[in-house]
Amino acid sequence: EVHYDAHAVEEKWLPVWERLDPFRADDAAVLTGEKPKFYGLTMFPYPSGDLHMGHAEVMALHDVLCRYKRFRGFEVLNPMGWDSFGLPAENAAIKNDEHPATYTYANIETQFTSFQKYGLSFDWSRRLHTSDPEYYKWTQWLFLKLREQGLAYRKNSPVNWCPNDQTVLANEQVLADGTCERCGAVVTKKELTQWYFRTTAYAQELYDSLDDLQDSWIAKVVNAQRNWIGRSEGAHVTFDVAGHDPIKVFTTRPDTLVGATFMVVAADAKLAQELVAPERAQALEDYLAEVRKSSDIDRLATDRPKTGIDLGVTATNPLTGEEIPVWAADYVLADYGTGAIMAVPAHDDRDGEFAEKFGLPIVPVYDAEQPYDKAAEVSRAIAAIEASGHGEGTVNFRLRDWLLSRQRYWGAPIPIIHCPVDGEVPVPEDQLPVELPELRGADLKPKGTSPLGAATEWVNVTCPTCGGPATRDTDTMDTFVDSSWYFFRYLSPHDSTQAFDPALAKAWGPVDFYLGGSEHAVLHLLYARFFTKALRDMGLIDWDEPFSAYLSQGTVINNGHKMSKSLGNGVALGAQLDEFGVDAVRLTLVFASPPEDNIDWADVSPAGSAKFLQRAWRLSGDVTSAVGVDPGTGDAALRKVTHKTVHEAAQLLDTYRFNVVVARTMELVNATRKAIDSGCGPADPAVREAAETVAILLSLVAPYTAEEMWERLGHEPSVAQAAWPTVDPALLVEDSVTAVVQIQGKVRGRLEVAPDISEADLEAAALADAAVVKAIDGRAVRKVIVRAPKLVNIVV
Ligand code: ANZ
């Protein structure tokens, strides 16, 4: 028996595939409508190190679907590139004392080689890197377009500041425990002038259109998006203050207005400074110094002792007319709602604790023990408040604008020039890209201002408007900006005249299936959705959502734990590939579990996968060595298994149950082996049909083995270009089904019957069955209920 050498097979087919290039996506076929399109996208990697087990998993899973869609007649676009700007490269570069570009592009080459060896069906002609000037030129262009629309602006505000990375962080990059997503340091606040994207302009639509994604996106991600956007219905209510503008609050419980016995303003909101009585100003100052030390998460924690100070002013409760004190505290956040609340200590826990601590009055509005129709009462309260002219019903979102400025080097420069005369001036389009200055040998260590400030020649420019001396903006963009639109750039990655071709976007968009890690479930997806809606409103595309279907894969773990250096349980992808071969590793990852579940590497067997692949491969040898032997007549039982497998595989693939497809393929291999060894023999045409089907199904997961089988079966490469097997419906019909016979509701017998048996025949067969006769035991049959072909119910 010839042994199948995985590594030799890999080396044999790689150059063939490169020559055949079967995965290049044909724009013309889609533009003309000649073929239906399928745009499959999987998240592109950061070029930090070589590919790892997580990449291997997501890429293997995604490849199954893309290869399948190609078989089904779709023109498939499956591109890959690198998210190559950002902190990981910059930090590694600082550590190794080299330029981020050196590190980045060396890693990209390493990863590219690994990707190729891994046998994925990417269209490499569309490869892109977000750190290439030909890419970030258009990132900068998009920034300017958004600014033109009023969707990019600068403001001075307290920002999340990582004292370790010395950089600003978006809210999304601060973990639930108030630490930096990247380095774990406790995040503090700092006042800075920063660039923002106005994501809040789309809050309502970003929230509402989740309804349309409900069925095609994995549920937990839809929920994560909903929670992040955080839609609350309620009312704005205004409270008059003598000698001052009224205080406006956002409340979800306008029905409790009569119980609002005091107000609380965020201690760090401007409003607190404006309201405070002169004799309380110093107290506020002292309190504020304390508040600045704590994170938003701490401030909102319910179990935290309440702190605050009386601002020495009062406001009028518009419903009771009573004068109520106004306090400042840290449990009210400056940038949520209006930064001020009406406190209802009887019905809100935090207000309650605050009132107890400071001896403020507590007035119940209703008896919490009694039934209370909250929704109705809220509507009624809103109507009353509106009638009184003290406010109106409103919707509030937790979503904040997206802070995109970074004081780091390795990112796309913000294409703005600051002129003492003309203010903010956009870099003219024909001067894009604003290329990063090389800064060789410069100190990139974070200092709180951008290292680009040191590039004097680069910074000092003439103002495009007045020609006077001006300076470039020295901040770079958050890398999430780069990845918010990369799926557009894949459509024409080398187009030097535009970010993307609207005709191609119309033809290929939106992305039909997106697979990626759940760590990007909130941020990246939300930002890509925001960009898409903004581009639509600029008239550049005609669709509303970027990703029609979204799935996040599970994690590859080991011995029940996330792979980590400290646990020493990491599994190196390279070593696995060396030991078992690409196909065995891919098959193991796809077979291990449904795509969304974690895979414990301790529970799977790449050696078992390799063995199975050998078994499958041997079928092709048996078929060809049988040439010259008398052909059979087409073993009916095997043909049925084959056709049923293809039929089921299609349904399973359409619903992403890739692991079950592998299981069915294994069953088909077993059935074929049995037919060869102890059935119709290898020369029977049914065996060839089965072996060819195995090759096609296997090509979704184990392309090398499949290609090798396909060749041995006498076909030209590539199996990826083969036709998907046509299912003969006649072969799907079951020969028999099991009918259950019940007596007094208890199962007393089972019969194998024809699926189209008549009710009368089934009844007769049931009453004649020996087990049933015995169970009836001579009693009179009073009634027989027949549901052909599955059930007979006998009452005695
Ligand atoms: C009075 C009231 C009575 C409230 C009651 C709640 C219960 P969500 O659902 O998260 O939107 N609030 C408003 N602005 C705030 C801020 N900047 N910082 C902290 N808390 C703030 O929550 C809205 C509710 O949270 C609002 O409704 C307000 O308290 C509080 F029995 O008003 B409520």
Structure letter (DSSP) for residue 126: G
Strands (E), 198-281: 231-241, 244-251, 262-266
pLDDT of residue 168: 79
Nearest Cα residue to 250 out of 269, 229, 268, 264? 264
Tell me the average pLDDT of the chain. Answer: 94
Residue 296: the pLDDT is 66
396 Cβ inside 6 Å of ligand 1: yes
Q: Model confidence over 529-565: pLDDT tens digits?
A: 999 999 999 999 999 999 999 999 999 999 999 998 8
Q: Is the CB of 253 under 6 A from ligand 1?
A: yes
- The CATH code belonging to domain 231-397 is 3.90.740.10
3-class secondary structure, 90: helix
Residue-level pLDDT at 446: 67
pLDDT of residue 792: 95
What pLDDT is recorded for position 297? 66
* CB-CB neighbours of 184 under 10 Å: 11
- Ligand 1 atom closest to the Cα of residue 347 is 31
* CA-based nearest residue to 661, from 651, 672, 649: 649
What is the SS3 assignment for 453?
helix
d(CA 124, CA 116): 9
Q: Does 565 appear as a known binding residue?
A: yes
- Three-state SS at 428: coil
C-alpha to C-alpha distance for 428 and 425, rounded to whole angstroms: 9
ipTM score: 0.97
From 252, 349, 350, mutation site for ligand 1 pocket: most ligand atoms within 8 A of C-beta: 252
Structural tokens at position 433: 């890209």
Q: 150 alpha carbon to ligand 1 midpoint, in Å? A: 30
Which residues, other chains included, contact 193 with Cβ-Cβ below 8 Å and sequence gap of 6+?
154, 155, 156
Looking at CATH, the fold of the domain delimited by 734-795 is given as Ubiquitin-like (UB roll) (3.10.20)
Residue 406 near residue 167 (C-beta atoms within 8 A) = yes
**Segments of the chain with pLDDT less than 50:** 1
pLDDT of residue 52: 94
Task: Name the nearest CA neighbour of 675 among 710, 648, 641.
Answer: 641
Whose C-alpha lies nearest to ligand 1, atom 25?
Answer: 251
What is the crossing angle of helices 523-537 and 219-229, to 10°? 70
Q: Which helix (H) or strand (E) holds 51?
A: none
The CATH classification number of 574-731 equals 1.10.730.10
Count Cβ atoms within 10 A of the Cβ of residue 408 and give its class: 0-12 exposed, 13-18 middle, 19 or more buried: buried
CATH architecture of 24-125+487-553: 3-Layer(aba) Sandwich (3.40)
Among 686, 692, 691, CA closest to 669: 691
Residue 48: the pLDDT is 86
The CA angle 122-67-577, to the nearest 5 degrees, is 65
Determine the distance separating the centroid of ligand 1 and the alpha carbon of 278, expressed in angstroms: 28
Report CA(342)–ligand 1 centroid distance (Å).
Answer: 8
Ligand 1 pocket member 250 (CB < 6 A): yes
C-alpha 259/C-alpha 364 separation (Å) is 6
Query: Residue ranges per domain, the chain?
Result: 24-125+487-553, 140-198+403-480, 231-397, 574-731, 734-795
